[in-house]
Amino acid sequence: MKVLLITREYPPYVYGGAGVHVEYLAAELARRMHVEVRCFGDQDTVKDGVRVKGFPFGKGSFAHVDKRLSGALDTFEANLETLSEQVDADLVHVHTWYAHLGGILAKTLYGIPLIHTVHSLEPLRPWKREQLGCGYDMSSWIERTSLGLADAVIAVSEGTKADILEHFDIDPAKITVIYNGIKVDQYHPSEDTDALVKYGVDPDRRTVLFVGRITRQKGIMHLVNAIKYINPDVQIVLCAGAPDTKEIHDEMELAIKHIRHEGCKNVTWIQEMVSKEEAIQFYSHATVFCCPSIYEPFGIINLEAMACHTAVVASAVGGIKEVVIDGVTGFLVPLEQYHVAPFEPVNPDAFSRDLAAAVNKILDDPKLAESMAAAGQKRAREVFSWSSIAEQTKNLYDAVLKK
């Protein structure tokens, strides 16, 4: 069997969970079949059975177009580039709207089945209009078209499957739930501390950690606003980079200045996306990992923290509820009532207080913190292995090809 994976993100250019997913899925699938990856970038490698070819993104063709629209048009152009080489595959498998058009064209031009993994849904990310303007209408159209043409759809959680059925007219029989995974021989507790020292973080001090992009979806502003309610003797480490827009970066910067002005001096903001190796050190030395997302189809960062023996406090949304077991591997904090779009809590301060209360409950009880960390690590190892996920994916490919 030959499969072509099309994605925007692939190492070394990974900034989100979808890029992590494709990297590990490709490696495991390569043990079972021929795998080719086409992505945005300058990659040109063959390693461990995976052929990776990058194609240029943002060549400047639309430099004179409104910046928000140029991003969408650059994506369209890059998708055409991914089809500039002959497709020799039995099926094509696409990841995120950035790569959907390439899959649509491969299916149409070469007559091969299209597999579509849903890592997120455009109707549930209305804040993307801040970043893309009317390009958001284009991303929504591409996603809708790809889902309609797909021979099979993979949802990364049961919650995601429910969202697909709510927002799209798709036969439920076409949707298969296959979770994201974790490479447990890579994500495990580390005693190294050089990354912490590099960024001025005390390895011996209790820590509340956030790792992720600066975007509405990740809810980071709710955590920043919760800091004043968190025990003042702990350090808060925010590994937060890759802002969606300059405006949201400036908003984050202002919020950090405000809480520091109020007397919260225990905050370290690392304004870049740390490497995997650095993230593993931060996870390993954190007392609590906090994920305040307002929308999360799966939430692979929670799984990474769990695998590194860390208790988790997270929003009770989407696929997070299938990863974190409330009261066992951490605490889930309900958003309670929220607006349909976006899913912002009606009372943001109450949500921030609830986040802080859950974090403090773990900080104040070392035995609870340890039991949750141990339970989380055990769950990550036993339930979310990439080997199992790749086997489920191969079985789905087999079923599609038999049809």
Summarised one tens digit per residue, pLDDT across range 38-63 is 999 999 999 999 999 999 999 999 99
Which range marks the domain in which residue 141 is found? 2-181+385-402
Task: For residue 96, name the pLDDT band (cuts at 50, 70, 90).
Answer: very high
In a domain, 226, yes or no: yes
318 and 256 in a single domain? The answer is: yes
Summarised one tens digit per residue, pLDDT across range 312-330 is 999 999 899 999 999 999 9
pLDDT at 371: 98
Q: What is the mean pLDDT of residues 132-149?
A: 95
For 141, residues 6+ apart whose C-beta sits below 8 A from its C-beta are: none
Give the mean pLDDT of the chain. Answer: 94
218 and 151 in a single domain? The answer is: no
Distance CA 229, CA 3 (A): 50
- Give me the amino acid identity at 256: I
Task: For residue 33, name the pLDDT band (cuts at 50, 70, 90).
Answer: very high
CATH of the domain at 253: 3.40.50.2000
258 and 374 in a single domain? The answer is: yes
In a domain, 187, yes or no: no
pLDDT at 265: 86
pLDDT at 339: 52
In a domain, 188, yes or no: no
In this structure, the number of other CB atoms found within 10 A of the CB of residue 140 comes to: 19
277 and 164 in a single domain? The answer is: no
292 and 161 in a single domain? The answer is: no
Which has more pLDDT, 185 or 370?
Answer: 370
Q: What is the mean pLDDT of residues 143-166?
A: 96
| Residue 362 near residue 332, CB atoms below 8 Å | no
pTM confidence score: 0.85
The structural domain count of the chain equals 2
pLDDT at 337: 62
pLDDT at 285: 98
Summarised one tens digit per residue, pLDDT across range 236-291 is 999 999 888 899 999 999 999 999 998 888 999 999 889 999 999 999 999 999 99
DSSP state of 219: T
326 and 205 in a single domain? The answer is: yes
In a domain, 110, yes or no: yes
In a domain, 189, yes or no: no
Task: For residue 232, name the pLDDT band (cuts at 50, 70, 90).
Answer: very high
Distance CA 102, CA 106 (A): 6
236 and 133 in a single domain? The answer is: no
Q: Quick check: 338 pLDDT over 60?
A: no
Q: What percent of the chain has pLDDT over 70?
A: 98
pLDDT at 46: 96
325 and 370 in a single domain? The answer is: yes
pLDDT at 15: 84
Task: For residue 343, name the pLDDT band (cuts at 50, 70, 90).
Answer: low
253 and 264 in a single domain? The answer is: yes
pLDDT at 228: 95
| Residue 184 near residue 385, CB atoms below 8 Å | yes
In a domain, 361, yes or no: yes
Q: What percent of the chain has pLDDT over 90?
A: 84
362 and 394 in a single domain? The answer is: no
Q: What is the mean pLDDT of residues 104-118?
A: 98
Distance CA 126, CA 281 (A): 34
Q: Quick check: 344 pLDDT over 80?
A: no
pLDDT at 334: 92
In this structure, the number of other CB atoms found within 10 A of the CB of residue 41 comes to: 18
226 and 284 in a single domain? The answer is: yes
Helix, strand or coil, per DSSP, at residue 40: strand
In a domain, 243, yes or no: yes
Task: Please report how the helices 17-29 and 300-307 are oriented relative to each other, as an axis angle in degrees rounded to 10.
Answer: 70
| Residue 218 near residue 292, CB atoms below 8 Å | yes
223 and 143 in a single domain? The answer is: no
In a domain, 186, yes or no: no
